[in-house]
């Protein structure tokens, strides 16, 4: 069978085997990897210059689930400041394809192929850690998290995709609990809930090894989610996990959402357990029962400084999905740091009223003295720091 050559970014890969995974729809996902890696390396280099320390000769990257090697080859050709990339896959045919593509692109000096179970490879690399680990599995990534949080360097970056959106979006809460340790809820905010369930799972895995996470960017697009998190070591900081992770309560009547961290930090030091005002209580707005979901990550989804850097750098990188990337990142840049959101059409359909324009509804919230933004995860979303009572007053007044 003849090879078909496919160009994406600076890479050209040869594909001739139906058993080796290549998905052109994921170009945006790979472009995002290139942009994020560039911003991450720039940040490291700037920090080193500021501290006047000797610049190293570059970072190490593990693409643990590589398929054709396309992503690794793109990183090698499009991102400056990388010392070595390991492109790994468990499937022999995939590794054959990775080797062929490394040669075809002339990146033998930077990219090495590896034929190993990703979990085993990551456990074996705990002493010789990677600065960046990219996990792009079929479906759910959680079986790889225990290894990944142990073999990424201090201050290193994890880039993780999940495509099992049905599970994360509340279609099968019990399966979600098995895989991610959290109950997913059917909600209009399910895509952000999915991001927060994945971040909770990464933070929990990291905490077991005295490590904590700082999310840099969390994205929901098409049929998948992708998070970029930095991992640091500190037993003390890990304890804050219980203040950044919490439960979600969704009313079965008006669908109002409340969140509650598992613990609070006391001003005198130490931690206080939450006595939940939501469990076994009826919704304050409509007196219906509430469903309990989670635990989810309640901390920030994005890091403002990183997103700014990403946006500023985009003009210097050539990306096939440039326009879309600018659009998505600009919405993210404006996104309020408030967990979850409502959608205007759903709010109005609960009270069986005609939907007003988004502009009018947002103005009402602003006039009442609250902040409001969109979520990048949904076009009709309303993200606001207004209490549920205020939102419903506006809906009722319409």
Which one of residues 58, 137, 261, 387 is an interface residue with ligand SAM (CB under 6 A)? 137
Round to whole Å and give the CA distance between 214 and 155.
9
- Supply φ then ψ for residue 17, to 5 degrees: -125, 120
β-strand pairing of 372-375 with 290-297? unpaired
Residue 365 and residue 382 in contact, taking contact as beta carbons nearer than 8 Å? yes
Per CB under 6 A, 165 contacts ligand SAM: no
Q: Left, alpha or beta for 185 (phi > 0: left; psi -120 to 50: alpha)?
A: beta
Is residue 173 at the binding interface for ligand SAM, with CB under 6 A as the rule? Answer: no
Residue with smaller CB distance to ligand SAM, 119 or 355? 119
Q: How many residues bind ligand SAM (CB under 6 A)?
A: 21
Q: Can you tell me which of 131, 136, 192, 335 binds ligand SAM, judged by CB under 6 A?
A: 136
* Least distance to ligand SAM, CB of residue 137, Å: 5
Rule CB under 6 A: say whether 36 interacts with ligand SAM.
no
Hey, which residues between 63 and 102 contact ligand SAM (CB under 6 A)? 65-68, 70-71, 88-91, 94
Q: Is 27 in the site for ligand SAM (CB under 6 A)?
A: no
Q: Which stretch binds ligand SAM (CB under 6 A): 112-120, 125-133, 175-183, 230-238?
A: 112-120
Beta strands in 57-178 (DSSP E): 59-63, 82-89, 111-115, 130-135, 152-162
Q: In the bound complex, what is the minimum distance in angstroms from residue 163's beta carbon to ligand SAM? A: 8
Q: How far apart are CA 197 and CA 339, in angstroms?
A: 12
- Residue 2 beta carbon to ligand SAM: minimum distance, rounded to whole angstroms: 21
**Min CB(322)–ligand SAM separation in Å:** 19
DSSP strand pairing (372-375 vs 378-384): antiparallel
Q: Cα separation of 146 and 202, whole Å?
A: 8
Should residue 139 be labelled a site residue for ligand SAM when binding is judged by CB under 6 A?
A: no
- If one asks whether residue 373 binds ligand SAM (CB under 6 A), the answer comes out as no
| Minimum distance, C-beta of residue 252 to ligand SAM, in the bound complex (Å) | 37
Within residues 211-270, the interface with ligand SAM by CB under 6 A covers none
Give the orientation angle of helix 27-50 with respect to helix 70-78, to 10 degrees.
40
Q: Which residues does 319 contact at the CB level (< 8 Å), separation at least 6? A: 9, 31, 34, 35, 325
Contact with ligand SAM (CB under 6 A): which of 8, 11, 21, 329?
21
Using the rule CB under 6 A, is 160 a contact of ligand SAM? no
Sheet strands (E) in the chain: 4-8, 11-15, 59-63, 82-89, 111-115, 130-135, 152-162, 211-221, 224-233, 245-251, 257-261, 263-265, 271-273, 290-297, 342-343, 372-375, 378-384
Binding flag, residue 28, ligand SAM (CB under 6 A): no
| Residue with Cβ nearer ligand SAM (99 or 237) | 99
179 near ligand SAM (CB under 6 A)? no
Nearest approach in angstroms of CB 114 to ligand SAM is 9
The CA-atom distances, in angstroms, between 314 and each of 274, 308, 376 are 43, 10, 18
Stretch that binds ligand SAM, among 77-85, 98-106, 116-124, 340-348 (CB under 6 A): 116-124
Instruction: Closer to ligand SAM by CB, 95 or 296: give it.
Output: 95
Which tokens in the block code for residue 374?
């969109």
| Listed residue (57, 58, 55, 89) closest to 72, CA to CA | 89
Nearest approach, Cβ of 87 to ligand SAM (angstroms)? 9
How many CA atoms lie less than 13 Å away from 373 in the CB half-sphere? Answer: 15
Nearer Cβ to ligand SAM, position 123 or 305? Answer: 123
Residue 6 interacts with ligand SAM (CB under 6 A)? no
Q: How far is the CB of 23 from ligand SAM (least distance, A)?
A: 6
Q: How many residues does the chain have?
A: 398
Alpha carbon distance 40, 152 (integer Å):
14
Task: Select the span of 59-67, 239-247, 263-271, 338-346 touching ligand SAM (CB under 6 A).
Answer: 59-67
Roughly how many angstroms between the first and final C-alpha of the chain, as a whole number? 64
Q: Does 138 bind ligand SAM (CB under 6 A)?
A: yes
CB 138 within 8 A of CB 64: no
CB of 314 to ligand SAM, least distance (A): 20
| Residues in touch with ligand SAM (CB under 6 A) | 21-22, 26, 30, 65-68, 70-71, 88-91, 94, 117-119, 136-138
């Amino acid at each position: 069978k003849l090879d078909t050559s496919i160009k994406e970014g600076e890479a050209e890969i040869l594909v001739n085997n139906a058993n080796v995974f290549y998905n052109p729809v994921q170009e945006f996902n790979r472009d995002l990897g290139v942009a994020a890696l560039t911003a991450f390396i720039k940040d490291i280099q700037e920090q080193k210059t500021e501290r006047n320390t000797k610049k190293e000769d570059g970072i190490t990257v593990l693409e643990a689930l590589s398929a054709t090697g396309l992503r690794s080859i793109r990183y090698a050709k499009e991102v400056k400041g990388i010392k070595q990339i390991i492109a790994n896959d468990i499937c022999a045919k995939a590794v054959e394809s990775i080797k062929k593509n490394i040669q075809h692109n002339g990146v033998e000096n930077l990219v090495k192929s590896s034929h190993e179970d990703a979990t085993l490879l990551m456990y074996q690399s705990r002493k010789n850690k990677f600065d960046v680990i990219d996990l792009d599995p079929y479906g759910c990534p959680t079986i790889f998290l225990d290894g990944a949080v142990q073999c990424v360097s201090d201050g290193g970056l994890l880039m993780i995709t999940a495509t099992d959106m049905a599970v994360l979006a509340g279609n099968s809460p019990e399966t979600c609990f098995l895989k991610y340790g959290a109950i997913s809820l059917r909600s209009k905010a399910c895509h952000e809930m999915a991001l927060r369930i994945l971040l909770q799972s990464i933070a929990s895995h990291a905490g077991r090894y005295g490590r904590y996470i700082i999310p840099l960017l969390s994205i929901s697009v098409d049929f998948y989610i992708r998070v970029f998190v930095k991992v640091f070591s500190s037993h003390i900081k890990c304890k804050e996990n219980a203040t950044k992770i919490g439960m979600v309560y969704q009313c079965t009547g008006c669908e109002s959402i409340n969140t509650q961290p598992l613990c609070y930090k006391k001003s005198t030091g130490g931690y206080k357990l939450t006595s939940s005002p939501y469990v076994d209580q009826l919704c304050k707005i409509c007196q219906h029962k509430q469903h309990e979901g989670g635990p989810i990550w309640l901390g920030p989804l994005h890091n403002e400084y990183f997103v700014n850097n990403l946006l500023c750098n985009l003009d210097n990188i050539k990306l096939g999905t440039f326009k879309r990337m600018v659009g998505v990142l600009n919405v993210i840049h404006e996104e309020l740091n408030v967990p979850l959101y409502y959608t205007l059409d759903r709010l109005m359909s609960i009270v069986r009223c005609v939907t007003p324009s988004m502009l009018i509804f947002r103005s009402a919230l602003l006039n009442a003295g609250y902040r409001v933004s969109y979520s990048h995860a949904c076009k009709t979303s309303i993200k606001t720091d207004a209490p549920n009572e205020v939102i419903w007053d506006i809906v009722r007044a319409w």
